[in-house]
Amino acid sequence: MKTLPSVVLVAATLACARSESPPLVIRHVTVISMTGPAALPDHAVVVRDGRIGALGPDAEVDVPRRAVVIDGTGKYLIPGLFEMHTHTSKTRASALGLYPVYGITTVRDQGSEHAEVLRWRREIRAGTRIGPRMLIAGPYLESRRNIDRMRADPPESRVEPFERARIPIGTPEEARRVIDSLAGLELDHFKIRTVQDRETYFALNEAANRHGIPLVGHVTVRSPADIIAAGQDGVDHSFFTLLDSLTRDERMSYWRQFAERGIGIVPTLVTLTESVRLPQTYLQALVDDTAGAMHPLRSYVSRFLVLDWGEQVLEATPERQAAFGAAWPSVLRDLREMREAGVRIMAGSDVAVINIFPGASLHTELELFVDSLGMTPLEALASATREPAAYLGLADSVGTIDVGRVADLVLLEADPLVDISNTNRIAAVALRGRWFDRAGLDALRAAVRAAPDLQANDWVRN
């Protein structure tokens, strides 16, 4: 008889139980709703059937009969967090169970094998797997040149089954044909990573716009003017030193157009501070650290991802490290100007990059938004709640705490508006209304630690 992974078994048990779940009431809690005033002290939140049924001052909220009551005295309630840049095929399915442990209730996958991430999303929706809400791009859109380079490597030298996760596109005609084909699949957006040429880039955007499906991804053209003209909907990572020759006024003109057109950015600053700028020796030691002594989550990394990290170490040359280090001032300058111009900046960590960990690294990104970009803690919190929800068209259901919203909630031990690092101090999480106290979150963590994909590579090349 086939054995289900432990995370799936836990979810199946909860799915059977939740049809009879009583209402949940969190009392005497400070609510940071992200809808108005920064904080609402001594409030109560009632959750029924996975949604917020009532919210108000504790003395004015009726507690339903047979409700499970949680004492939130001295604690802070925030909306569930968004992680806007993941690669789930690389982290493998086990990592999905880690996101709720870190208060993340929605993730945006930015390139994976479509069939399997779609299967995992359906399992989460059915309640047979515990994990966050998933928005998926399906396969990476790549230049034919880049795929030809990958194919030229000896098969044994490349770990990723890229043929199942990346689509080569070499001409405008191919761009239109590929987009037309993918548009019929169950996906939420397209992710562009590399492009063959400027004409193919414009053709990709034109086709995506024709289908009404957002196209987001890397900066693949020389000027923000082309991003604006083509209609790309969002940028991941940054422009690095590309705009150094422009004046501040020229850059600000572009950023104001980004804001007006709703072009959002997910800068993944944490990849610069915690990955590509680190010494190659450290990264190699991390790969070799089977005991998990270097990072508390090293022992939760899938076998495939460890192998993939081994390839990434080979790319982490001193020259590459120096180049990214030199680009850091330009990256911060551009992002500070974008913030000033009103561009929507959102939190994501590029999960699957070496030394970037599912769940934990998003909190580091929020700290970087405050410490390096000058955001207030409230702004940083918005970058992982209200702002991505609005950007993704989900503001009527998630991203804020209000009556009628899905009960994606995080209960914190300390005030994140005083210190954004307090988002790490998680007491409990409601995932679509399912309540996980500290013991429940620890059980999720233990189930991930026991997952088969941590021991054996289950994403192999044919």
Q: Which domains can be identified in the chain, with CATH numbers?
A: 6-79+401-447 (2.30.40.10), 81-393 (3.20.20.140)
Model-wide pTM > 0.75: yes
Instruction: Using the Cα atoms of residue 117, residue 120, residue 126 and residue 131 in order, give the sign of their dihedral.
Output: negative
Do the beta carbons of residue 91 and residue 112 sit within 8 Å? no
Residue with tokens 């515990």: 130
Spatial distance between the Cα atoms of 60 and 348, rounded to a whole number of angstroms? 38
- Nearest Cα neighbor of 70 from 411, 400, 404 is 411
| Cα 120 → chain centroid | 16
CA distance 298 to 281: 16
List per-residue pLDDT tens for the chain, 462 residues long.
Answer: 233 344 444 454 444 444 568 999 999 999 999 998 789 999 999 999 999 999 999 999 999 999 999 999 999 999 999 999 999 999 999 999 999 999 999 999 999 999 999 999 999 999 999 999 999 998 999 999 999 999 988 777 789 999 999 999 999 999 999 999 999 999 999 999 999 999 999 999 999 999 999 999 999 999 999 999 999 999 999 999 999 999 999 999 999 999 999 999 999 999 999 999 999 999 999 999 999 999 999 999 999 999 999 999 999 999 999 999 999 999 999 999 999 999 999 999 999 999 999 999 999 999 999 999 999 999 999 999 999 999 999 999 999 999 999 999 999 999 999 999 999 999 999 999 999 999 999 999 999 999 999 999 999 987
Query: How many C-alpha atoms does 240 have within 13 Å on its Cβ side?
Result: 15
